[in-house]
Structures are given as structure tokens and as C-alpha cells.
Amino acid sequence: MSSSPMVELVGIAKRFSKPAGIASRIARRFGGPERATTVHAIDGVDLAIARGQVLGLVGESGCGKSTLGRIVAGIMPPSEGEVRWQGRNVAGATRAEARKAKLGIQMIFQDPMSSLNPRMRVADIVGEAPLVHGLVGRREIDAYVDEQLVSAGLDPAYKRRYPHQFSGGQRQRISIARALAVQPQFLVCDESVAALDVSIQAQVINLFLKLREDLDLTYLFISHDLGVVEHLSDRVAIMYLGRIVEEAPTGEIFARANHPYTQSLLAAVPKIENRKTTFVAVKGEIPSPLNPPAGCHFHPRCPHAFARCRSERPAIRQIAPDHFSACHLNDEPR
């Protein structure tokens, strides 16, 4: 399985900064302090996704998982580092190549209502991109759109309707049909089933599984729902405040979680099999990425933290075959 990965991220960082306001700019002229605030949304991430694989990216709000998804999808350039699409750096590619890479990666968002144009009919939403990119001619477009709708599990008879005339689950199917219309090889799903009811969520997950089989797709599946990720993914990466803290095959991570954050995350997930559990709270809150703790970001909440965790950032390294974790405890004698 060590063929060249479909997508590779090397040393990716993303910073958002808010320029200093006029008052602090004037203050600086007179010797005031530097005031530009910077959020380190992503802080040195390496990640590879092999062809045909489903990588689940898990983390809590504000950990940077959506930003990472956007960088992979090419919607946002990284501040540092390289995104390689089938072995080639996207940033250095020619325009034609970059366009090809962009078409090859499509993204499906959480809320279809804000990612579908409410004033376009379904047929136009799905048909626009393949027409613009010359994938199909004007004459074949009708049949082509029907085909995409059918593969997303929608009845083509409804294609003259507008998005608001559909239910939440159907709307998500429209965004899936739109993504499929440009014949992508790779889908970035950002919390794509989070807003759906349980019974509808199961239908959409099944659709993703079927499309993977039928179209040989590769996925980056971003979610906070560990149950869904466990079901769908081959590998799982756990993110905390802009860094990947653990990465391993799905079975391995759920059976032998190494990082204390992963462990507490797994412990906090209620399971339908467990009745009348007494909940044990993880202490503390998710710190602000504006001002993350030094050293290991998780140390203020970690039950095992020691002096080194407060000062030194743990590197992510292999701790078992194909199992990577970023924790100083792995260096300690047990």
C-alpha cells in the first residue's frame, strides 16, 4: 500500500491574522506594542491519503479540521508547506494542471442550504460546472445531469425544482450530485452528515459507501462524530488545536488509542450499548487558538502531563507499525 499517495500534505501551516486597527497603528508610531493578532489554525501538518482510501479527520470545534479540508480541496492556499496532488506540487503546477487537480477534488459541505444557490434550479446547479469545463456538450447535458442525479439517489423528475423544495437529506444529495458531475477522484466531506436526522444520516452514509465502490473514490471525511468515522474510514487522524496528535488505521486507533486526547475523546462518546453510565468529565475547556498553551497543546487538560509537556512540542512519530502519535509519554520508561 505504499504506492504514491493521491494527496500529500507536507508541513502545512495556515495562519489568519487580523491587521492592527487604526488606533493601535497610531499607538505603534509612538512606540506602542505590536498588536496584530494571529490565529495558528494549522500548525505543521503532514498527512498522506492513499488512492481509494477513506481518511477520517476527527477533532472538536476550532481545531482546524475544516481549514485543513479547504486547503486540501484547493479553496484556500496554505501559509506554509506543500499540497501534492498525485505526487506533484499544486502551487508550482501550470494553470492547466492546477485546474485538473482542482476538478479532481470536490468538496461537500455541512449545510447544503448555504452551499447551494437558492435561485438556481437543480438541473443548473448540477449541470453548470461540467458545461463550463467542457466535460459534456450542450446537447448531452440533460441526459448527463439525469445520470448524476440518479447516482446520488435522486429522482431526475425533480430537476426543475429549486433547493428549498427538497428536504435536508435530499439537498445533501444535490450537493453530492453536483460534486460528482465533474468526475472527481477525491471527495472532501466536511461534516456532510452532521446536520441530518439519524435515519437520513444512515442513507447518506450508505450513498458514500456505494459511490466509493462504484466510482473508485478517495475520501477525506471530516467529522466530530466518532461513530460515523469509525464506520466509514480506513484510517483516522485526530486533530487538536491545529496539530495532528495521532494517526492510525481505524481498528488500531479505536482498540489501542495512544494519545491521552484520543483516549479522553473516546471515553467521552456515549455508546448506545452502555446504559446508565456515570459520566466522567475531561477537565478543562478547549483553549483558544489565538493563544494556545506552550509545549503540547493538550497539557493543561491532560491527566498525565509532566514538566516536559509544558515546554516542548512533542513530535509525531511511529509508536507501533503504522501507528503515529505525538506524545512525550512514549519516550518515558513504563
Partner 1 sequence: MTPTVTLEVRDLSTHFHASGTTLKAVDGVSFSVARGKVLGLVGESGSGKTVTGFSIMRLVDPPGFIAGGSILFQGLDLARISNEEMRRLRGNRIAMIFQDPMMTLNPGLRVDTQMVETILAHESTSREEARQRARDALGMVGIPSPDERLRSYPHQFSGGMRQRVAIAIAMLHRPELIIADEPTTALDVTIQGQILAEVQKLTRQFGTSLIWISHDLSVVAALADEIAVMYAGRLVEQGEVGEVLDRPLHPYTKGLIDSVPSRNRRGAPLRQIQGMTPSLANLPSGCSFRTRCPRAAEICQQAPATREWLPGHTARCHRPHHLVEEPA
What is the C-alpha separation between 94 and 186, in angstroms, rounded? 20
* 50 touches partner 1 by CB under 8 A: no
* 291 touches partner 1 by CB under 8 A: no
Q: Three-state DSSP class for 8?
A: strand
For residue 96, the minimal CB distance to partner 1 (Å) is: 37
* 264 touches partner 1 by CB under 8 A: yes
Give whichever of 96 and 255 is closer to partner 1, judged by the CB atom: 255
Interface region with partner 1, contact rule CB under 8 A, candidates 7-15, 23-31, 100-108, 277-285: 277-285
Q: What number of residues does the chain have? A: 334
Interface region with partner 1, contact rule CB under 8 A, candidates 65-73, 138-146, 152-160, 195-203: 195-203
Question: CB burial class (10 A; 0-12, 13-18, 19+) of residue 77?
Answer: exposed
* 135 touches partner 1 by CB under 8 A: no
* 119 touches partner 1 by CB under 8 A: no
* 209 touches partner 1 by CB under 8 A: yes
Binding characters for partner 1, 57-76, by CB under 8 A (x = yes): ---xx---------------
- Rounded to the nearest 10 degrees, what angle do helices 198-215 and 168-180 cross at? 20
* 165 touches partner 1 by CB under 8 A: no
Place of cell 438556481: 120
Q: What is the distance in angstroms between the CA of the first residue and the CA of the last residue of the chain?
A: 32
For residue 32, the minimal CB distance to partner 1 (Å) is: 25
Place of cell 469509525: 230
Specify whether the backbone of 307 is left (phi greater than 0), alpha (psi in -120 to 50) or beta. Answer: alpha
Helix, strand counts (H, E) of the chain: 12, 12
Cβ pair 248, 235 in contact under 8 A: yes
* 224 touches partner 1 by CB under 8 A: yes
Residues that bind partner 1 (CB under 8 A): 60-61, 167-170, 197-203, 205-206, 209-210, 224, 226-228, 230-232, 250-251, 264-265, 267-282, 285-286
